[in-house]
């Protein structure tokens, strides 16, 4: 995947309709402060198009980034931030669920978890929720540069056990700092979105 141009095309809130796009969509879910914006920026080769924030829980919309006029990266609201009141959390949950159910071109959902810690109850709930909506989550274990290489396999096992994933579930260690895992993610996205020769949308 070669990123030529990207733009933030659509932003939807709690009451907005889900856009019916024709190009494939790849969605990114993860709790607040897991490094979701950093991952999306690294994939887009941009420093700060996806807004990173020192205040977790800042993303309260679903943001659609147009990539090369070929596909969309869809940034879902972060979940599990303690200071956000329950009513707000429920609104975001409904918004995410509506998107998962109504998008006709969603090809995959990447679920981000912090590789340094066992998955939280919120992570497990989100994993099960994505499954129940008909998608096999691809797990991105972020912040891989923050652990020693010798710990990597042990932490990946902990992620797999904590989420209770199917044995076929892909888990990719990723670092926004070193770009570890980025090429692997690109290859996966390409395999899901590139049309065979001679096919039109």
Note the pLDDT of residue 198: 46
Give the β-pairing of 25-30 and 106-114: parallel
DSSP designation for 79: B
Q: What string of DSSP letters covers 29-42?
A: EEBTTSSHHHHHHH
pLDDT at 152 over 70: yes
Lowest mean pLDDT among 32-36, 105-109, 148-152, 186-190: 32-36
pLDDT in tens, 91-141: 777 888 899 999 999 999 999 999 999 999 989 989 998 999 899 999 999
106: tokens are 């969603």
């Amino acid at each position: 995947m070669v990123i030529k141009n990207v733009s933030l095309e659509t932003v939807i809130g709690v009451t907005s309709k889900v856009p019916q796009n024709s190009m494939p969509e790849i969605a990114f879910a993860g709790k607040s402060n897991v490094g979701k914006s950093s991952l999306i920026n690294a994939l887009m080769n941009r420093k700060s198009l996806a807004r990173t924030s020192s205040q977790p829980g800042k993303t309260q919309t679903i943001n659609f980034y147009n990539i090369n006029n070929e596909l969309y990266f869809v940034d879902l609201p972060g979940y599990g931030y303690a200071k956000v009141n329950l009513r707000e959390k429920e609104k975001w949950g409904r918004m995410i669920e509506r998107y998962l159910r109504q998008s006709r071109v969603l090809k995959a959902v990447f679920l981000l978890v912090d590789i340094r810690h066992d998955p939280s109850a919120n992570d497990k709930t989100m994993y099960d929720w994505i499954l129940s909506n008909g998608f096999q989550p691809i797990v991105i274990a972020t912040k891989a540069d923050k652990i020693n290489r010798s710990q990597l396999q042990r932490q990946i096992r902990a992620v797999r056990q904590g989420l209770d994933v199917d044995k076929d579930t892909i888990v990719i260690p990723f670092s926004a700092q070193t770009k570890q895992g980025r090429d692997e993610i690109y290859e996966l996205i390409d395999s899901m979105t590139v049309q065979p020769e001679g096919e039109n949308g």
